[in-house]
């Protein structure tokens, strides 16, 4: 069995994430794509949409697709989970002959700082989704998505054109509600 893992905050999931999912299914020789949202990234100190909401959005978008599994493993830990822990979990659960680990090109500059990076490199083959015209070194498998969408921009502007259609209105309402709560707290 060949598996690819695609993790992230998905705060919110958007068309860029969807492009990565679709390109992975089409261009990687895999039997299963595991989408694994974080509880919170080890490199962040907060998220806006809570973990249950983000998991719900992910299930609405990709939950019924063939070859896709939605994993709540990191969310269930209720703390930041280094990627090596998730990889070891997948390896133990499935013992795949090949394990791809999909990240956006924006993570390349800090990849060497990831917890147990050398061990991670021995266990997975990194697949890099192109983003922001960042050059991808030849040692990595390149996922030619050329997506330049930011979840941060979506959250701050509430421009939801780049949000997946299945959840577009729900996302706008959710973040609008959060903005109203923040406004009330300030006043």
Residue 123 sits in a domain of what CATH number? 3.40.50.620
In a domain, 67, yes or no: yes
pLDDT at 182: 55
- 171, 163 Cβ separation under 8 angstroms: yes
Range of the domain at 112: 2-149
In a domain, 163, yes or no: no
CA torsion, ordered 43, 49, 50, 53, to nearest 10 deg:
-130
In a domain, 162, yes or no: no
pLDDT (tens digit per residue) in 30-48: 999 999 999 987 666 777 8
**Confidence at 1, pLDDT banded by 50, 70, 90:** very high
Tokens of 142: 């390149």
Q: How far apart are CA 121 and CA 104, in angstroms?
A: 16
| Number of structural domains found in the chain | 1
Q: Which pTM does this prediction carry?
A: 0.92
């Amino acid at each position: 069995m060949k598996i690819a893992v695609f993790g992230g905050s998905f705060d919110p999931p958007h068309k860029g994430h969807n492009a990565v999912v679709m390109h992975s299914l089409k261009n990687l020789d895999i039997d299963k794509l595991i989408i694994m949202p974080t509880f919170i990234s080890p490199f962040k100190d907060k998220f806006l949409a809570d973990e249950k909401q983000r998991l719900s959005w992910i299930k609405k978008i990709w939950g019924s697709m063939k070859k896709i599994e939605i994993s709540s493993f990191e969310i269930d830990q209720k703390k930041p989970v280094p990627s090596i822990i998730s990889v070891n979990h997948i390896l133990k659960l499935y013992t795949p002959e090949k394990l791809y680990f999909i990240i956006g090109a924006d993570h390349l500059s800090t990849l060497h700082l990831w917890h147990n990076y050398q061990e991670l490199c021995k266990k997975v083959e990194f697949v890099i989704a192109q983003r922001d015209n960042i050059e991808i070194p030849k040692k990595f498998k390149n996922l030619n998505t050329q997506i330049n969408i930011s979840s941060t921009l979506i959250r701050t502007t509430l421009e939801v054109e780049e949000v997946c259609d299945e959840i577009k209105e729900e996302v706008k309402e959710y973040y609008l509600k959060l903005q109203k709560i923040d406004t009330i707290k300030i006043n």
